[in-house]
């Protein structure tokens, strides 16, 4: 009996600690009000494929052609810019600020197109002596930026 009461006490204490710190389970964003969406953009774009994958995870059907009765997401552009933050004593760049920009618009049925722009910033330390490793790190960082941009796009769509 004492062992059972200890278990209940620890479970109660654990749930109070988790709820007290603001922890909430995060699931898939509900996009039930959008059963189908048409995506338009460069078919070779990694951002477009990530967006399509995330929409499929949220049980959204992707249409093959545009329809006046369903939402339409048009990816206009996405790109990466670098701005120098610091230099090594020999004049080579030591640190960059990466700026990932996505421009897209949402065309909702019966409404005008609404343009959106997402800008994400990251610092990136360059090391010329480890060029191959730094190139791989930059690829991983760009993949992470694309994933975050897609999450913002999905949240924006969920708010409408």
Position 148 confidence tier, pLDDT thresholds 50, 70, 90: very high
pTM for the model: 0.74
The residues facing 117 across adjacent strands are 103
* Top-confidence residue, 19 or 96: 96
Instruction: List, for residues 34-79, the tens digit of each pLDDT value.
Output: 788 999 998 899 999 999 999 998 888 998 888 888 889 999 999 9
Give the pLDDT of residue 108.
86
Give the pLDDT of residue 151.
92
- Residue 49's SS3 state is helix
Give the pLDDT of residue 21.
64
For residue 41, the 8-state DSSP code is S
Q: Give CA separation, 13 vs 8, 16, 18, 79, in Å.
A: 8, 5, 9, 48
Measure the CA dihedral 118/70/34/145, to 10°.
-20
Distance, in Å, from the CA atom of 145 to the CA atom of 137, rounded to the nearest integer, reads 12
Residue with tokens 């209940």: 8
Domains and CATH numbers, the chain: 2-159 (3.30.160.150)
Distance, in Å, from the CA atom of 102 to the CA atom of 1, rounded to the nearest integer, reads 60
Give the pLDDT of residue 77.
93
């Amino acid at each position: 009996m004492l062992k059972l009461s200890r278990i209940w006490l620890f479970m109660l204490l654990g749930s109070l600690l988790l709820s007290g710190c603001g922890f909430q389970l995060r699931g898939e964003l509900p996009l039930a009000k959008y059963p189908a969406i048409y995506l338009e953009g460069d078919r070779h774009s990694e951002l477009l494929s990530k967006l399509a994958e995330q929409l499929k995870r949220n049980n959204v059907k992707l249409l093959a052609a545009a329809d006046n009765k369903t939402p339409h997401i048009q990816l206009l552009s996405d790109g990466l810019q670098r701005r120098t933050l610091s230099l090594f004593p020999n004049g080579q760049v030591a640190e960059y600020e990466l700026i990932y920009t996505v421009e897209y618009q949402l065309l909702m049925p019966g409404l005008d197109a609404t343009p959106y722009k997402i800008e994400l910033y990251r610092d990136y330390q360059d090391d010329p002596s480890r060029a191959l490793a730094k190139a791989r790190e930059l690829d991983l960082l760009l993949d992470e930026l694309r994933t975050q941009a897609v999450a913002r796009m999905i949240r924006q769509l969920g708010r409408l």
